[in-house]
Amino acid sequence: MTVAIEYDMEAIARIVGGRLKPSDKAAQPKYLSVDSRKIVAPESTLFWAIRTEQRDGSLFMPELYSRGVRNFITEDEKISRSLKGVNVILVKNSLLALHKLATYHRKRFKKIKVIGVTGSNGKTIVKDWLFALLSPYYDVVRSPRSFNSQIGVPLSILQIRSHHVIGIFEAGISRPGEMKALERMIQPRIGIFTNIGTAHDEGFRNRDEKIREKLLLFSRSETLVYPEEENEITENIREADIAHKVKVHSWGTHKSHYAIKSITTAGTHTEISIATGRKKDIIKIPFTDKGSVQNAINCYGAIKELGISNREVIKGFEKLQALSMRLELQYGINGCVIINDSYSNDLQSLEIALDFLLRQQPEKHTVILSDMLQSGRSSDSLYKEIAGLMERKGVRKFVGVGKDISASKEFFTGIPGRYFFRDTESMLSQLARLQFENEVILIKGARKFHFEDISRRLEKQSHETIFSINLTNLAHNVRVYKTFLKPDTRLMAMVKAFAYGAGSSEVSSLLQFIKADYLTVAYADEGVALREAGISLPVMVMNVSVHYFDALVKYRLEPEIFSPALLLAFTSYLKERKIKNFPVHIKIDTGMHRLGFDVSRIDELLSLLKGNHFIRVQSVFSHLSASDNPEYDSFTMQQYQLFRKVVRRVQSVVRYPFLRHIANTSAISRFAALRMDMVRLGIGLYGIDSNPNVASRLMPVCRLTTTISQIKNVKKGEVVGYGRNRITRDKVIATVGIGYADGYRRVLGNGVGGMFVRGRLAPTVGNICMDMTMIDISGIEGVREGDEVEIFGENLPISRVALWAHTIPYEILTGISQRVKRVYYEE
């Protein structure tokens, strides 16, 4: 993971107590990374060389130096001396130094309400469900994925910014002494203890020691929420005397703080009635398994402890979704359905996953299970219980992967179809023998076994280019810009050009749902499509001619009027049809010289407006030409002052209120005075802003991916692609399914551009073809045909691709061909 940082090397050295060896040749970092495989912007990344029992990150420094990294923090002075022109901070303990930075960073934000989550199962689901429930209404920061370790927690904490209102962080431990460090960084105000299970039992003398270690997370909390039915947790809370320091609010029977009155399942939904004193809530979730019910109640307790009474938050439980890598259903090969739980592996989560499997009511069901690590039990005892569980659940086909489970195969004789392999690679090599067809397959394994490789082989490969649009992030970005606005300032969203390539009706539906005030399209036919898609928001049409007048009136589209001739023509059209007070928007040219009434002809405009009852001026606006560039701020203010003068003259004639707007995306954050009555938000919707302080708060919305069609080993001196581009060394070349007909520009060929493959940047090779592109994957391990390739998105910012192409992100987005499949999703 790479995180943005707000500290220069001198500040970091001071905070962590390190010794800085600076260089005038190295730029200050903007990002921090602990993973050498995932550094995309080496020149502006600080590599934090973590030394653990398994690996020393300092050993990767020379390779990163060759890739352009010039900022390091390390324990190894010898390696650092070999690197010239770098900023290096030397520390005694790299992990402790990272903890110090995170602790310092956390202390800066005293007002944020932090929820700390721990337990054996459900931590990530509870965290992500809370995010889904709260983020539509509050600015929330959370741990990415399952970043709950001694390394993951500090990286998560470093994401906190001043605008965040709520933080949700999970904490995981595997041995005594670890939780104190996590507590110092997280400092939760509210705690959630999800449950206690067998995971990591072997790291502790007994279960009680593990529970007491986990309870340390809440040593300075105000409130702790946990399930009363977890008797071991209850007993340890009592013995540790935590109730004298922390308000302990259990959920469960009528004696609990959150009393569960009833749990009713109907079809695919569950209804949970919860009472707190005399108050009662009913939450509905689209799940029926016990694990989801427990997770939902834990989420409810946290929301109540935050003091949130927003009914819309409670209604949000109905929209919760299964999380990726957490019991996610996907279509597989040969008519199979895959349940992917290749994330964790212990008895409790196994039973929950089996319940989920059987709820699919398959005619044939299969379980693929790895060794169960860190259970703290003998193999005979553990696998005898697992085999009995499989038989009780009626599993008819079982695949065991790992040395321990294979050595215990005698316990599984009650299952008709059973297969055992010593490792994942052995299983994959004999996949055909397993004859998976028309069955539901549960894949559950410890991370060590890389069961994602099994998932990849069994899942149905589409081999198609996909443009993914994250509507959740788009809504987040709108909220970011709204923080700059007064409550009565309206927001107009630009959805012209197919919503910057993202899809007009889909994006507009979301904007309508989150209460945008206006939409803008370029042409009337775009507005017609929105109306036919059920969009009822007011829509302004920018480029209007007489040919579109009928459509404007029929579909209630509001034209931009930019010239005397157009105003005369539209007034005449309305007069002939006896239509009065039709809404229009008057555009003034204050210096961009594209469309709009010239300031020198304002008298003519005023004469046409005076006494005109056929139109009603909804707004008067202008367009800024360089609001993103501080160099031209004086010109921007000149445009604004000129606009104000024109507006005053229009007001003297119209004599009724209308909206005034001139601020575009860049101006919203940079010029408070220019926000006026309404602002126009365009590219900022998609997470792009020229202001770095705003850009750091935005979330990426669009992701363009494709797949590898074929991989070839090409020898030095051979040619690749059209134009016979000769390569100068042996290379491994992957052909991917995107070309200039899809919107991947030809200028990005011959190494100018690159794509993100398995955590590395792979440069293009040869010319871009109409439907395909070749990339160099030499040195990138584990790449296979069918693998996903990111063109731009979370790992490779679109701004970087635009820079390679000598253009702007607008052009990249709007240039994506309509033949590219759009996929819309909400987290």
- Within 23-109, where are the H helices? 61-66, 77-81, 94-107
DSSP, residue by residue, 451-473 = THHHHHHHBPP----EEEEEHHH
Q: Which token pair is 651?
A: 């007001």
Q: 301, 225 in Cβ contact below 8 A? A: yes
DSSP three-state, residue 575: helix
Calpha distance 556→619 (Å, rounded): 16
Residue 568 identity (one-letter amino acid): L
Calpha distance 520→416 (Å, rounded): 63
Backbone dihedral region for residue 200 (phi beyond 0: left; psi -120 to 50: alpha; all else: beta):
left
DSSP bridge pairs for 492: 518, 680
Which residue bears the tokens 């469900």?
129
Q: 665, 684 in Cβ contact below 8 A? A: yes
Cα 728 to its chain centre, rounded Å, is 39
Calpha distance 130→128 (Å, rounded): 5
Q: 415, 388 in Cβ contact below 8 A? A: no
Residue 341 identity (one-letter amino acid): D
The active-site residue, picked from 403, 645, 722, 825, is 722
Q: Would you give the DSSP letter of residue 447?
A: G
HSE, side-chain direction, 13 A CA sphere, residue 22: 10
User: Catalytic annotation on 731?
Assistant: no
Residue 698: CB atoms within 10 Å:
20
Which residue bears the tokens 């997370």?
217
Residue 247: CB atoms within 10 Å:
14
HSE, side-chain direction, 13 A CA sphere, residue 654: 22
Q: Which token pair is 146?
A: 């399952």
User: Catalytic annotation on 821?
Assistant: no
Q: 18, 97 in Cβ contact below 8 A? A: yes
Residue 95: CB atoms within 10 Å:
19
How open is the CA angle 419-197-314, to the nearest 5 degrees?
A: 110
The active-site residue, picked from 304, 496, 587, 731, is 496
Backbone dihedral region for residue 802 (phi beyond 0: left; psi -120 to 50: alpha; all else: beta):
alpha
Q: Would you give the DSSP letter of residue 51?
A: B
Which residue bears the tokens 């061909």?
817
Q: Which token pair is 803?
A: 């820079």
Q: 212, 189 in Cβ contact below 8 A? A: no
Calpha distance 792→126 (Å, rounded): 30
Buried b (16+ CB within 10 A) or exposed e, 425-443: eebeeeeeebebeebbbbb
DSSP three-state, residue 272: strand
Q: Which token pair is 123?
A: 């931590």
Residue 365: CB atoms within 10 Å:
22
Cα 111 to its chain centre, rounded Å, is 24
Q: Which residues are the active-site residues?
A: 496, 722
